[in-house]
Amino acid sequence: MIKGIWRSTHFLLAVSVSIFLIIASVTGTFLGIEAIIDQSQKEAISDLDKISLKKTMDSLQNNFLEVYEISVTEKNQVLVQGITSKGFETVFVNPNTGKKLDIVKPKTRLSNFMKNLHRSLFLKKTGRILMGFISFLTAMLVITGFLLLINRIGGVNKIFRPLKEKQFFRKSHIELGRLFVIPIFFIAISGFYLTTSRLDIFNSNKSTHYDYEAGEKYVDLDKFYLDKVKNVIYPFSSSENDTYKIQLSNRSITFQQGDNSLLSENIHPTPFLIRAWAYWIHTGESNILIAVLLTLTSLTLIFFIISGLFISSKTSWALFKFSNIDFNEAKIIILYGSETGNTFQFAKKLLKRLHQDGIKATICSLNKYNFFPKAQVFIFMTSTYGEGDAPSNADQFAYKFKKYKQLKTIEYTVLGFGSKSYPKFCSFAEDINSLLSQEDNYSELYPFFKINNQDANEYLSWEKKLISRFNS
């Protein structure tokens, strides 16, 4: 029962987020590739944690007449605005030598377009809220998907066991699911945080401010490494009132020019730090491995949507729409138990065949088991889930079977579907068969039969023999 809820929830969530998720993952793929390309360019510097701010500031003195600002971008590039012999320039520099690397290229239109679409669908605040909500739903999707996965595999401890699933989409959905469950979850959560943190929810968290007297404490620029530096604003003029302002990853400080004495310090509040972390994780702009992982995950999400569609076209729609014809009139009732929809397909096939012969038959999931006043024959067709459990539309059968006793004598047969590679091959069908054999008013119409891997030939020969029983 619980599993059915997870499955329906997973399916409904997927349907409602799929359009947005497609947009997010296609643009995400683009942005991920862009982040990878950016970081493999020559301006990207990987060892910022070994370069001290002092070294960079000293080296800039030789190359600039005046520096306005140094900033370390999210992509680990060091950007300097200042005056060179050519006038005012904004350039990337090598932080070791202070030499100019390349002139700043504006972001391409395409890139801005993708980023905008990814963040807010061009709908400004509304779009942001929407995308934030989608991120939240995606996180839920991951959780329900994970629960289904565990259920499917038969426990958390078995999560890395090889799969026995044959069908391509189903197999890859599960296979990729267990590989990417963590990255997707983190992307969703960080995306959710990035959007909600923009919405002023965290206003109450003020940073902590300290003031110091000149000469009380001194700033040692040799102790700041560039990986922790966001930007440095140089003093506006040589006037004593103008100070250096440095933004570090966890605080900002100002200090006096000349003797470097610390004047004030602002410690950033926790949400600020979480936001920085979420940005780091969500954009991969400063770590090429994360950028690669993000790109792969985006591609996987696209694939998930496609494979999920294929799976659900077989399973979930059927689970939702199914309610049946006239149970009161039918002579033959096909009772099916199907997790993934395959058995249901066979059951429908049989129903069609019976209708062709003009037999009053109907089809009903095992959980919908009820009084069937005119029933003479029950045909059970069921798969087995995981370690010998009932499929999700059959898990209440045992209870309902006891509750609704049929009045007439019933002839029955049981057909089990499964795979021989599972130790509990068709064991749920076996359970039904033994349950019925203990009942007085049930007699076997045709012996219990098992079908391996949905073998169509095995099924057809079974169907032929069964139908010949009706005609005899």
Q: Which residues contact 316 (CB under 8 A, 6 or more apart)?
A: 7, 8, 11
Supply the minimum distance, in Å, between the C-beta of residue 83 and another protein: 7
Rounded Cα gap, residues 20 and 327, in angstroms? 42
Q: How many residues bind another protein (CB under 8 A)?
A: 35
Query: Does the footprint of another protein cover residue 122 (CB under 8 A)?
Result: yes
Backbone φ and ψ for 124, nearest 5 degrees, come out as 50, -130
The answer to whether 87 contacts another protein (rule: CB under 8 A) is yes
124 binds another protein (CB under 8 A): yes
Which residue in this structure is represented by tokens 């003093």? Answer: 235
Query: Which of 99, 125, 158, 355 touches another protein by CB under 8 A?
Result: 125
Listed ranges 121-129, 173-181, 319-327, 450-458: which one lies at the site for another protein (CB under 8 A) = 121-129
Q: Is 41 in the site for another protein (CB under 8 A)?
A: no
Closer residue to another protein in complex, CB, 203/356: 203
Contact flag: residue 257 with another protein (CB under 8 A)? no
- Tell whether residue 236 is a contact of another protein (CB under 8 A): yes
* Burial class (CB within 10 angstroms; exposed 0-12, middle 13-18, buried 19+) of 7: buried
User: Least distance (Å) from another protein to the CB of residue 203?
Assistant: 6
b/e map 15-42, b = 16+ CB within 10 Å: eebbebbeebbbbbbbbbbbbbebbeee
Q: Residue 332: what residue type? A: I
- Binding residue (CB under 8 A) for another protein from 118, 178, 268, 368: 268
Which residue stretch of 6-14, 232-240, 314-322, 461-469 sits at the interface with another protein (rule: CB under 8 A)? 232-240
Calculate the alpha carbon distances from 349 to 166, 315, 382 in Å. Answer: 21, 16, 14
Q: Can you list the positions of beta strands (E) in 311-437?
A: 332-337, 361-365, 377-382, 410-418
* Residue 81 falls in which region: left (phi positive, over 0), alpha (psi -120 to 50) or beta: beta
For residue 216, the minimal CB distance to another protein (Å) is 21
The CA distance from 270 to 266, in Å, is 13
Q: Which is nearer to another protein, 87 or 162 (CB)?
A: 87
Site residues for another protein, 188-207, by CB under 8 A, read 198, 200, 203, 207
210 contacts another protein (rule: CB under 8 A) = no
Query: Which residues make beta-bridge pairs with 102?
Result: 92
Q: What is the DSSP string of 273-286?
A: HHHHHHHHHHH-TT
Stretch of 1-9, 74-82, 174-182, 361-369 lying at the interface with another protein (CB under 8 A)? 74-82
- Chain contacts with another protein (rule: CB under 8 A): 68-69, 71, 73-74, 79, 81, 83, 87-88, 90, 104, 106-107, 112, 116, 122, 124-125, 198, 200, 203, 207, 233-234, 236-237, 245, 247, 251-252, 266, 268, 272, 275
